[in-house]
Chains A and B, each alone.
Chain A
Amino acid sequence: MLTTALIVIPVAGALLIAITPLSSYWLGSLATLISLVEIGVWITAAARFDFSSSSLQMDQRASWFSDLQVSWHVGQYRFTLWFVGMTVVAMAACTIYGWWVGRERARAYFALMLLLTGAIVGVFVAQDLLLFYAFFEAMLIPLYVLIGVWGGSDRMRATITFVVYTVVGSLLMLAAIVVFGLQQGTFDMTRMGTSSSQWLFLGFVVAFAIKSPLFPLHGWLPVTYRESPAEVSAVLSGIVGKVGLYGLLRIAIPFFPQPVHDWRIVMLIVGSVSLVYGSLLAFRAPDFRGVVMYSSLAQSGLIVLGLFASNSLGFDGAVLQIVNHALISTSLFLLAGMLERRTGTRGELSLLGGMARGRPALATMIMIVGIISLAVPLSTSFAGEFLILAGVFQQGWLWAVIGAAGMVLAAMYMLRAISAVLHQDVGPAVSEHALDLRVGELAIVVPLVLCLIGLSAWPNLVSGRASAPTSSGWTQYAP
């Protein structure tokens, strides 16, 4: 019931907001309240969760249409719980940011944000392939409008690019789902067997690689992330991208053991190239958002290395790093939005600089998140990336070397961005009147940072409880 509630609450909240006659301020506060209630429900779920069991928990199953064995089946594994947690936290932060910024057309805006929350949670908890697909597609609808209505001046191109990429990917997946489900005689993921079809595997992988994004399929990334409102970029990079990685982890890897084996080298190369190429692009990016967005490409690559390491170290590291990067990326994009609002720029690094002086809160926040994101030892990213490297090392030392090189590159691009924003000479767009972070903004960023610091203190909370403690832990949930 709790799992279903996690989907129903935001969706019902969206409908409520769509019809409630309130002013935009109160609609925003209502949306905030709903997203906080959602976090509360998740905490309740986490409190009742049995972390010693690796099986599906809090599941609910009801037949949807029986002739093709499709059902409403939702539930959570241990790693799912963390993914849902990061979703509700990040979505709450983004919703509150939209309220703080005072988005126009508040009714549509907040309804869509809540709808998006429900859809993303649904993707993570769905245990039926068709239901998974329905939520996967449902995510696109609010995102399309959020970018198209509240985006920047080039938003038309952004929406078309974004939609073309994602629709192509998801329809390939739909074809794969139809074939796979009918072959298996059921669409219930907990009852399906494995398949050795290369085509089906590739259908899923392409869809997930577009969503993540991964190297050759990241063409939608620049225009979409730059033209979206800051908080929508935060959702895209922090959460929606993770849906693609989750799909690899939950569907592409466990159901297709033979194709995974055959394509492992290719996937490791894709991950490596994404990591190195993304890092280099981030180093060259002329704006703050560019750095963050290409770093998320790099991080996707790193996580893929962990996933296709095919051992529990890599898997645990990937799960931890997904959660880490969700929080980091959300914080950084929101901070980017705050910077852009202060300076009236689009975050061009050449126009920024010297913002640390007189703005201690802003500097501290950017500094903490930046440092954690470049995987400084003792941070949670360090733990995640270390696990991934240790895991992928077992597939060959070369992959670990590439991963380590990625960590060095991360330090380079992140420190460059931090220094260009906070230090150096005062930039032309930075006026004396650009304020420090306000209390409202701190209320958005500080909880995210606290989550990161908490995870840094105890990364085992996620990684140790992601898979089973056995060496074959990562296949525990596989059929």
Chain B
Amino acid sequence: MIAKPHIDWFALAPSLALLGAAGLLLMVAVFVPRRGRKATSAFVAFGGFVASGIWAAFLDDRSPNATALVHDAMWRDRWGALAQVILAGSGAVAVLLSYGERMRDEHVAEYYALLTAAGAGMAFFVQAGNLMTLFLGLEWFSIALYVLTAIDIDLVGSLEAGLKYLIIGAVGSATLLFGSALVYGITGELSFDRIAAAGHAHDAMLVVGLAMIIVGLGFKASAAPFHMWTPDAYQGAPTPVTAFMSSATKIAALVVTYRVLVTTFPHDQHLWRIAIAVIAIVSLAWGNIAALVQRNVKRILAYSSVSHAGFMLIAVAAANPLGARALLYYLIPYAAMSLGAFGVVAARERELQRPVTLQNLAGFGWERPFLGVAMWVFMLGMLGFPLTGGFIGKFYVFAAAYDHGYWWLIVAGVIATMISAYYYLGIVRAMYFRDAAELQLAPAGGSPPFDPLLIAGVGIALAVTVGSFFAVQPLIDVARSAASSLPL
């Protein structure tokens, strides 16, 4: 008879809800007739994300004190719960953006099943409490994302993107696993807080393990120089998948990076602070400079997401209460802007039936007033202009860096923002400033398909982007209580 640990099912509910939805979707793929399959599966997936979000919100409310679950394998705390809320929101919007995507009937339900499975993996990942669940969660959502990237076999480049993502992602996972093994080898412990308690802080093997774990998580956060897969995967994947990857993967990876660093390696913080700061600077530099020369809008946004990883890693490097708050706050408008921007790209892609470049974005702002203004707001938000949460996010990140005395990170962030103005405003310029002769009323035959769900998804993203500028206090309060569940 094996002694079974007590399991707090409520704490696992956000993940289980999505897992349940994924299972149900596989049933839908088999049992629901082809005619109603698309609507049914989108509905189930949306419901799964909403249910997961609601559960996570309850979990956030009911978990004022962090408690360990299942023999320290998982954590029930507000840090994870808040991340799950943001993840579920991103997933729900991604479902809205996906509905109008051209997709083969025979795997539409599988598409949503993979999306919810990826969401479940991320929800599991952010609660991870030991090296085993860390790796399990990472692989869980990664494998789902590899398939999602390659799912549209009719799309040129989709398969290639999936393969690239798979190979590079596997390198990242292997690095993480190797690092975990080293850490386990030296401490003999798996769970984060016992590793910290075990000492060995200055042991070379532990430090190497720490470095490898940072690298493995850096791949998922697409921080430079571990971002090589990002532009290709973002470009090749179906655009709604890109939207989901760019927001949700980044949320999960950064939230977990912060958790692992402060709970597992508090004694080595002088080392990882510098390492993360360097990665942040490299991401800022590489992401922004590479984005300058891109013509494809999805690639521009991919490099922009690398640079945003850099901004958020500034908050991780600061690793003070302000930094934790800054990270969680920044993720909210960032996820919204990223989803919204890719949603707009998806809309343009659907009406043109070809990849969106700066060139064929011409006139979009005048043809689609709502989507144009929305894209405008997203770009200004990513640039960190006021009236969007992006501005407050950058402000908090800089404040956190200053609070820790890393003024040089502020300098790096400011220079990066200056560079980024060129390509973010370049998108606005492409949408609005061209001469009337260049405007192209998109599809050859008639007006483009009206897609109310996509409009709704972009509308939600717009509301969050602008709303987070005004409602700073409530969001910061939530972020503060989430941050207080972690040490430091």
> Contacting chain A: which of B19-27, B141-149, B166-174, B383-391?
B383-391
B417 interface residue (CB < 8 Å to A):
yes
A39 to B428, CA, bound (A): 32
Flag whether A63 is at the interface (Cβ < 8 A).
Answer: yes
In the assembled complex, which residues on chain A have CB atoms less than 8 Å from the CB atom of B385? 137-138, 140-141
* Cβ contacts B395-406/A at 8 Å (1 or 0 each): 110110011000
Determine whether the beta carbon of A67 is less than 8 Å from that of B476. Answer: yes
CA distance A156 to B362 in the complex (A): 14
Q: A164-B421, A171-B418 are in contact. Are A159 and B429 (CB under 8 A)?
A: yes
Do the beta carbons of A175 and B429 come within 8 Å of each other?
no
Most buried by A among B380, B414, B417, B432: B414
With beta carbons under 8 angstroms apart, the residue of A105, A137, A168 that contacts B366 is A105
Would you give the shortest CB distance from A306 to chain B, in whole angstroms? 31
B interface residues, how many (CB within 8 angstroms): 32
**Residue A167, interface by CB 8 Å:** yes
Once the chains bind, are A156 and B395 in contact (CB under 8 Å)?
no
**CB-CB nearest in chain B for A134:** B386
Say whether A99 faces chain B, with CB atoms less than 8 Å apart: no
A70: B residues at CB distance < 8 A: 472
Task: Check: B480 CB closer than 8 A to any chain A CB.
Answer: yes
Q: Is A174 an interface residue (CB 8 A)?
A: yes
Interface assignment of A409: CB less than 8 Å from any CB of chain B: no
Chain A window 163-203, contacts with chain B (Cβ cutoff 8 Å), 1 for yes, 0 for no: 11001100110110011001000000000000000000000
Query: Main SS of chain A's interface residues?
Result: helix
- Distance in angstroms from B486 CB to nearest chain A CB is 17
Distance from B397 Cβ to chain A, minimum over Cβ atoms (Å): 10
For residue B155, CB closer than 8 A to chain A, the reply is no
A9 to B410, CA, bound (A): 36
Residue of A nearest to B433 (CB): A148
**Contact status A171-B417, CB under 8 Å:** yes
> Do A141 and B410 contact each other (CB < 8 Å), given the known contacts A159-B429, A182-B402?
no
Question: What is the 8 Å Cβ interface bit string for chain B, positions 409-434, against chain A (1 contact, 0 not)?
Answer: 01100100110011001001100110
In Å, the complex CA distance between A135 and B391 comes to: 12
Q: Is A73 an interface residue (CB 8 A)?
A: no
Given that A138-B385, A182-B402, A182-B403 are contacting pairs, would A163 and B480 also be in contact in the complex, using a CB cutoff of 8 Å? no
With A67-B480, A145-B432, A148-B432: A163-B402 Cβ-Cβ less than 8 Å: no
Chain A proximity of B350: nearest CB distance (Å): 25
- Nearest B residue to A122, CB-CB: B386
Shortest distance in angstroms between B5's beta carbon and chain A's nearest beta carbon?
A: 38
Contacts of A159 in B (CB 8 A): 425, 429, 433
Assess the B411–A175 pair: CB atoms within 8 A: yes
A144 to B425 Cα, complex, angstroms? 9
Q: When the two chains form their complex, are residues B387 and A134 in contact, meaning their CB atoms are under 8 A apart? A: yes
User: Scoring B residues 283 to 298 as 1 if CB is less than 8 Å from chain A, else 0, what string do you get?
Assistant: 0000000000000000
* Beta-carbon nearest neighbor of B366 in chain A: A105
A178 touches B410 (CB 8 A): yes
Interface pair A178/B429, CB less than 8 Å apart? no
Contact B432 A174 (CB under 8 A): no
Contact between B429 and A148 (Cβ–Cβ < 8 Å)? yes
Q: Which residue of A lies closest to B396 (CB)?
A: A68
Find out whether the CB atom of A155 lies under 8 angstroms from the CB atom of B433. Answer: yes
B421 contacts across to A, CB distance below 8 A: 163-164, 167
Q: How distant is the Cα of A135 from the Cα of B385 in the complex, in angstroms?
A: 10
Q: How far, in whole Å, are A174 and B433 apart by their CA atoms in the complex?
A: 28
CA distance A156 to B425 in the complex (A): 11
Q: Is A66 an interface residue (CB 8 A)?
A: yes
Q: How far is the CB of A265 from chain B (nearest CB, A)?
A: 28
How many residues from A make CB contacts under 8 Å with B?
35
A-B pairs under 8 A by CB, number: 78
Residues B366 and A138 in contact, CB atoms below 8 Å apart: no
In the bound complex, CA of A141 to CA of B422 (Å): 14
Give every chain B residue within 8 A of A164 (Cβ-Cβ). 421-422
Given the complex of chains A and B, what is the CA–CA distance between A137 and B429 in angstroms?
18
Neighbouring A residues of B366 by C-beta, 8 Å: 105
Instruction: Point out the residue from B325, B380, B473 that lies within 8 Å of A64, measured CB to CB.
Output: B473
A138/B387 in contact, CB under 8 A = yes
A371 at the B interface (CB under 8 A):
no
Contact A65 to B418, CB < 8 A, known contacts A175-B398, A179-B410: no
When distances are taken between beta carbons in the complex, the residues of chain A under 8 Å from B10 are: none
Complex: A178 Cα to B398 Cα, angstroms: 7
**What does the 1/0 interface line of B314-347 toward A look like (CB < 8 Å)?**
0000000010010000000000000000000000
Alpha-carbon gap, A346 to B70, bound state (A): 77
The complex places the Cα of A167 from the Cα of B425 at a distance, in Å, of: 11
Instruction: Decide if B473 touches A134 in the complex (CB within 8 Å).
Output: no
Write the chain A residue with the least CB distance to B479: A67
A145 CA to B430 CA in the complex, in Å?
Answer: 12
In the complex, which residue of chain B has the Cβ closest to the Cβ of A11? Answer: B387
Q: Given contacts A137-B386, A148-B429, A163-B425, is CB(A66)–CB(B473) below 8 Å?
A: yes
Contact A134 B432 (CB under 8 A): no
Q: What residue in chain B is nearest A166 (Cβ atoms)?
A: B421
Residue in chain A with minimal CB distance to B325: A67
How far, in angstroms, from A167 to B414 measured CA to CA in the complex? 10
Which residues does chain B contribute within 8 Å of A182, judged by CB atoms? 399, 402-403
A298–chain B nearest beta-carbon distance, Å? 29
Query: Which residues of chain B are within 8 angstroms of A51 by Cβ–Cβ distance?
Result: none
* B473 engages A63 (CB within 8 Å): yes
Is there an interface contact between A179 and B402, defined as CB atoms closer than 8 Å?
yes
Given that A137-B385, A168-B418 are known contacts, is A68 also in contact with B399, CB under 8 Å in the complex? Answer: yes
Chain B residues within 8 Å of A137, by CB: 385-386, 391
Q: List 10 A-B contacts (CB under 8 A).
A: A63-B473, A65-B472, A67-B476, A135-B386, A148-B429, A156-B429, A156-B433, A167-B417, A172-B414, A174-B398
A→B interface (CB under 8 Å): 63-68, 70, 105, 130, 133-135, 137-138, 140-141, 144-145, 148-149, 155-156, 159-160, 163-164, 167-168, 171-172, 174-175, 178-179, 182
A-B interface, 9 closest residue pairs, ranked by CB to CB distance from nearest: A134-B386, A65-B472, A148-B433, A167-B421, A178-B398, A171-B414, A65-B473, A175-B414, A137-B386
- Given A64-B472, A145-B428, 11 extra CB contacts under 8 A: A63-B473, A68-B396, A70-B472, A133-B386, A134-B386, A134-B391, A140-B385, A148-B429, A172-B414, A182-B399, A182-B403
